[in-house]
Structure 1
Amino acid sequence: MKKFKIYAYAFLGVILLAVVCLLPLPVYLESVGKAINVADYVTVKGRTDESKGKLMLTYVSLQKATPILYVTSFLDKYTSRVPASEISGGETNAEFDKVQSYYMTDAVNQAKAISLKLAHKKYKRVYLGIYVMSILKNSTFKGKLKVGDTIVAVNNRHFDSTEGFMKYVKAQKKGSPIEITYLRDGKQKKANGKTVTLIGTNRSGIGISLAEKTKVKSPTKIRANMEGIGGPSAGLMLSLQMYSQVANVDLKAGRNIAGTGTISSNGKVGDIGGIDKKVVAASRAGATVFFAPNNPVSKAEKKADPTALSNYDEAKETVEKDNLKIKVIPVKNINEAISYLRNK
């Protein structure tokens, strides 16, 4: 009987330990990630960049919390605890991964476009269709379309822009039959449904959130193997790396340079999240310069959070508070970053 109690207690202890260590909580832990050399991922005309110095992209580390990880996270001042709903938006893990993959693919395409443009190289943007980012609850295509599908035609009509697609759908009356032609895993399929009134509006739609899917084609071949890295925040550093290789310009001059920010095809640098953690990652990786988006905080953001700071101000505050040996450079577009690197 005594041995039975010992075994029972041991078994309960194992169960409790497993719960503490393995039970996933509806919380993500966002902490300092790494800064990595973009040259390791980008090739131009089959050649890699072997010049001295580094242009580094930065990312945050994101992991699902367990009870023990949640408690110990308070020992790291750079770790934030974020509700799972804020990270995934209610999406499944597979859907979340597909959305992040789209963001990275789009960042690569935007970086190709702006780097080729700045280097005065020929290129063209090819419109591929509509990328499905999410499907609304009242959509008649729920259960038919999936996140990651690419819509290529509506009622057998093809469009050369997202605007054309949206204009056509908006013109349909509520309840109008709609046939969607889409690509999934490289195979063309069709789905039928009806237009619905979009929530919070009096407009008709098919009830999806979408993004434009394009591809950049050029005689100057650029490849970026970003497998395993998601999100749009590497756009600026990808653009700088691609431009330096396409134009054969040494922007590094032996320095380790890091940064973050989305990039548009016209060179505008957009805001990102977790910049306090990214500047710390850059500093730990030996970067001496860190580019940070410098866009003003909107009135809506200030209303929601009176303490909200711009990306640049938040990065600068982190550096000053922790006495990091890295210089934060504010940028609103890629030309400002290029100008700084050339003049310094």
Structure 2
Amino acid sequence: MRRRGLTVLLGALLTTLLSIGVLAAPIPYVVLGPGPTVNTLGSDNGKEVIQVTGRETSTSAGQLRLTTVGVQPSVKLRSAIQGWFSDDEAVVPRELVYPPGETQEEVEERNAEDFKVSQSSAETAALRELGFPVRIVVKTVAADGPSAGILKPGDVVTSVDGQPATAAGRLTELIRAKPAGTTLEVGYTRDGAAAIARITSQEQDGRPRIGIEIDQEQPHPFTLKIDLTDIGGPSAGLMFALGIVDKLTPEDLTGGRIIAGTGTIDDDGRVGPIGGIAQKLVGARDAGATAFLVPADNCAEAVRNPQPDLPLLRVATLDDALHALQALRAGDHPARC
């Protein structure tokens, strides 16, 4: 009898040890949770997030908070089980965050680069909104290219086939929209005089090109700098752009509220979708936000993951976001998801 009892005890002990080992074993998943939120109108680590030199800035009674997603890169079964039962977290396959063939360090480096690009595009879009247009200036002309003898360095390209070339990326899109060998009507100015040139694109590296190098310029009489570390990815672009517009205009865009949001932005002010919207809504809730700016393409997912008393405002462009904030200040009802 004593022997049988000892056997049962040893079996239970072994089962417990085995269970502990399994629960502590790493698995190919990551846990996503709400990350930190940052007020783009405020300071982080003792420094203003958006810094302007050479022009007076305004102050706001409210906040414009960018939202982030926290990632647990090394997950054990115990943490995954907790995440599966959590309303605020999500457990997803590791390869969705860290693609096969890429190390965690490489992914983080790419996210850091995307973050820098988002800042640049936010500045471009915001300055355009404030009346500082983008100029696409011809830097060089290939001697044997389609534009040789037609365009010159210093020319400002303004359109392709009547479509405005509002940014360097847009010019590339317009040229590549038609197959190589297409004759394009390229609008430009030289010494202040407008003209149109007929240029036939040629294929190079598998893509239509017109044989010029360009610079994107946006002259403005002050300097802008975004100073924020430990955040990666492109999804803060919209909130940076709104922060810049708020600081450089007298009106308080927030109306004294805490407004959170997310979304990529391009040079033309178009807002794009992001990942982790459910976790970002939780972060906004915890930060006391009273409204959330949602990229239009994320609306369906956001509606499936609502937070109490947090209206979801649908935006597809920077102008949409500005109109939504204006409606809030006026007591009207902006477009919702």
Query: Could you state the TM-score of these two structures normalised by the residue count of structure 2?
Result: 0.62
- Alignment map for 1:16-165 (pairs within 5 Å): 20-21=23-24, 23-39=25-41, 40=43, 41-45=49-53, 50-64=59-73, 65-90=75-100, 91-121=102-132
Structure 1 Cα separation of the partners of residues 91 and 136 of structure 2: 40
Kindly tell me: are residues 124 and 109 of structure 1, through their superposed partners in 2, closer, same or farther at Cα, counting changes over 3 Å?
A: farther
Give the conservation status (yes or no) of the 8 Å contact 1:291–1:329: yes
Which position in structure 1 is the counterpart of 2:299? 312
Shift of 1:35: 2.5
Kindly tell me: are residues 126 and 84 of structure 1, through their superposed partners in 2, closer, same or farther at Cα, counting changes over 3 Å?
A: farther
Give the conservation status (yes or no) of the 8 Å contact 2:292–2:311: yes
The amino acid of 2:320's aligned partner reads E
Give the conservation status (yes or no) of the 8 Å contact 1:283–1:326: yes
The amino acid of 1:317's aligned partner reads R
Number of residue equivalences:
241
Q: Tell me, what secondary structure is at the counterpart of 1:85? A: helix
Structure 2 Cα separation of the partners of residues 224 and 98 of structure 1: 18
Give the conservation status (yes or no) of the 8 Å contact 2:134–2:216: no
Which position in structure 2 is the counterpart of 1:272? 274
Structure 2 Cα separation of the partners of residues 216 and 17 of structure 1: 60
Structure 1 Cα separation of the partners of residues 131 and 251 of structure 2: 13
Structure 2 Cα separation of the partners of residues 16 and 216 of structure 1: 62
Give aligned-pair identity as a percent: 28
What's the C-alpha RMSD, in Å, of the aligned pairs? 3.6
Which position in structure 1 is the counterpart of 2:142? none
The amino acid of 2:239's aligned partner reads M
Show structure 1 runs of 4+ deviating over 4 A.
Answer: 13-21, 46-50, 122-128, 160-164, 213-218
Q: Tell me, what secondary structure is at the counterpart of 2:36? A: strand
Structure 2 Cα separation of the partners of residues 19 and 215 of structure 1: 58
Kindly tell me: are residues 93 and 217 of structure 1, through their superposed partners in 2, closer, same or farther at Cα, counting changes over 3 Å?
A: farther
Kindly tell me: are residues 101 and 51 of structure 1, through their superposed partners in 2, closer, same or farther at Cα, counting changes over 3 Å?
A: same
1:332 to 290, 310, 316: 316
Shift of 1:269: 0.7
- Show structure 2 runs of 5+ residues with no match: 1-12, 44-48, 140-167, 181-204, 208-214, 330-337
Shift of 1:341: 1.4
Kindly tell me: are residues 218 and 43 of structure 1, through their superposed partners in 2, closer, same or farther at Cα, counting changes over 3 Å?
A: same
- Show structure 1 runs of 5+ residues with no match: 1-9, 129-159, 172-202, 206-212, 296-310
The amino acid of 1:334's aligned partner reads L
Give the conservation status (yes or no) of the 8 Å contact 1:127–1:215: no
Which position in structure 2 is the counterpart of 1:341? 325
The amino acid of 2:299's aligned partner reads Y
The amino acid of 1:342's aligned partner reads Q
Kindly tell me: are residues 123 and 18 of structure 1, through their superposed partners in 2, closer, same or farther at Cα, counting changes over 3 Å?
A: farther
Structure 2 Cα separation of the partners of residues 290 and 263 of structure 1: 16
The amino acid of 1:341's aligned partner reads L
Q: Tell me, what secondary structure is at the counterpart of 1:34? A: coil
Q: Tell me, what secondary structure is at the counterpart of 2:66? A: strand
